[in-house]
Amino acid sequence: MLRQLVHGRDDMLLLAVHLMKTHCSPILLYECEIWSMSPSHKHKVDVAWNNSFRKVFNACWRESVKPLLFYCNTMPASLLAEQRKMIFYNKILHSNNIVLRILCASHRNTAQKLSSVYHIFPGHSSSIDIKRAVWSSFVLILTI
């Protein structure tokens, strides 16, 4: 699958991936910050994202797209949704708006649960730290 990238189609494929990341992922992950994602919902979102990568790279449905995602510097859609959710909660916790912070307090368990999965401290991590932690967990999944 990655062999075809080396033989000159790289620019067109990366352009297609860029278009997917900038136009399709916002639609796929619209309001994911407030989703309550069950495992079956995560699976459905990942299948849609993976199938788009399979289509662009002309891959068989049985092949894993994780190496392609890594090559294209992106992650499964469920991880992108969790990353966006943690960044969203982090911004609310640092907001000057007291109403937002009170509303966020009612969802503190969600933020703490996600943060513990990625070994970060809720409210004390920057967006960059959150992105690095989620990316590291994806890379760890690839190596297992």
pLDDT in tens, 84-133: 998 988 888 888 888 887 877 777 777 778 778 888 876 667 889 999 99
Our count of domains for the chain comes to 1
Q: Which residue has the tokens 């859609």?
A: 77
* CB of 78 closer than 8 Å to CB of 63: no
Largest separation between any pair of C-alpha atoms in the chain: 55
* CB of 130 closer than 8 Å to CB of 115: no
* CB of 52 closer than 8 Å to CB of 69: no
Structural domain harbouring 31: 3-143
- Angle formed by the axes of helices 39-57 and 77-93, nearest 10°: 120
- Predicted model pTM: 0.84
